[in-house]
Amino acid sequence: MLVWKPVFTCLPISKSTLKSDTAGARRLRVRVLGSAAGGGLPQWNCRCGVCRLARAEPQRVIPRTQSSIAVSVDGEHWALINCAPEVLSQLQRDPALQPGRDDRHTPIQSILVTNGDVDHIAGLLSLRERSPFRLYATPEIHGVLRDNPIFNVLAPDCVERRDVALDSRIELLPGLMATVFAVPGKTALYLEGDEVEIGAEGESTVGVEFELDGQRLYYIPGCATVTPRLADRLEGAAALLFDGTLWRDDEMLRAGVGQKTGQRMGHMSMAGPEGSMTALADSDIGRRVFIHINNTNPVLIEDSAERREAEDAGWEIAFDGMEITP
């Protein structure tokens, strides 16, 4: 690891106007950096049917890293939404996210995290080499980061931590407005006490709305239920990236790899009468993409009946490297 010597201060965040900021070039671009849920695919200690296929037949089950996307309007300045443990290899795969000029540079100007889960924050520890960026989170999630002093490796004179209030619009990147909003969820696993409130709506689990020229795109990697309020908000969206953790609620128990249901983890399932495909079936949404997919989920198998069922219902299954330009 090369740590930039402290005698150098970090470079200021580029305030330059967008070079390719012409009407035609300005559009929402999303790259899926990681499409798997916590644990990734295959998960290091898992031998479930899907993980086994991911090792033995990677063309039938494409391996995936943990949940994160990159967003841009010009292809030059980028924001990461969530920061997975695999962030370094994710950035290595994508030239647009690598230094484009100068000896030290990054196109990443902002990082926003949607909850305090390990799969969404651990990668921050790998971005400690004194490049400036803004770190956005709700006050509660910033509190979690503050309570874990290891995150102080992000030097405060380089990484500016900014609070985002629920339902307030921020300029995440020059020209890209984002709003975070509460979705039903739960506190991070490592913060669970004796009693866990599932489906609480507050600052601990948020979705993100991106808006450009009237077009809206949503990223909601964790959600316990689609409330009427959430369904209303999503109406008319150009694209939705939504919690695809489990196909069915008791999937991990059936696979013999865990004791928890999806509901207990704060994740609604895709299938069944209580599932997200049913909940959003009548909504007016352009592209529908499942993301944050757990390694037990059979939709990960390219030729599975569940994959076909999801696709027939109009859903795409995210993979690492997927580009979404609604």
Tell me which residues touch Zn ion (CB under 5 A): 43, 46, 48, 51, 295
**Residue 200 touching ligand MLT (CB under 6 A):** no
Number of DSSP helices (H) and strands (E) in the chain, helices first: 9, 14
119 binds ligand MLT (CB under 6 A): yes
Tell me the sheet residues that pair with 269. Answer: 246
Stretch that binds ligand MLT, among 55-63, 78-86, 117-125, 210-218 (CB under 6 A): 117-125
CB of 124 to Zn ion, least distance (A): 26
Picking from 86, 90, 141, 87, the residue whose alpha carbon sits closest to that of residue 112 is 141
The nearer residue to Mn ion, 26 or 260, going by C-beta atoms, is: 260
Check if the beta carbon of residue 26 is closer than 8 Å to that of residue 73: yes
Residue 37 lies near ligand MLT (rule: CB under 6 A): yes
In whole angstroms, the minimum distance from the beta carbon of 118 to Zn ion comes to 17
Q: Show the tokens assigned to 256.
A: 């013999």
Cα 85 to Cα 68: distance, rounded to the nearest angstrom: 10
Question: Which token pair is 86?
Answer: 């695999």
DSSP 8-state assignment for residue 27: -
Is residue 156 reached through a cis peptide bond, with omega within 30 degrees of 0 on the bond before it? no
Considering only residues 71 to 110 of the shown chain, the ones binding ligand MLT according to CB under 6 A are: none
By beta-carbon proximity to Mn ion, the closer residue of 109 and 263 is 263
> Of these, 265, 280, 318, 324, which contacts ligand MLT (CB under 6 A)?
265
189's contact among ligand MLT, Zn ion, Mn ion, none, with CB below 5 to 8 A by partner kind, is ligand MLT
Question: Quick one: which of 29, 32, 34, 38 contacts Mn ion (CB under 5 A)?
Answer: 38
In the bound complex, what is the minimum distance in angstroms from residue 321's beta carbon to ligand MLT? 21
Dist CA 29 CA 17 (whole Å) = 18
Q: Which 203-262 positions form the footprint of Mn ion (CB under 5 A)?
A: none
What's the CA gap between 239 and 218, in Å, rounded?
6
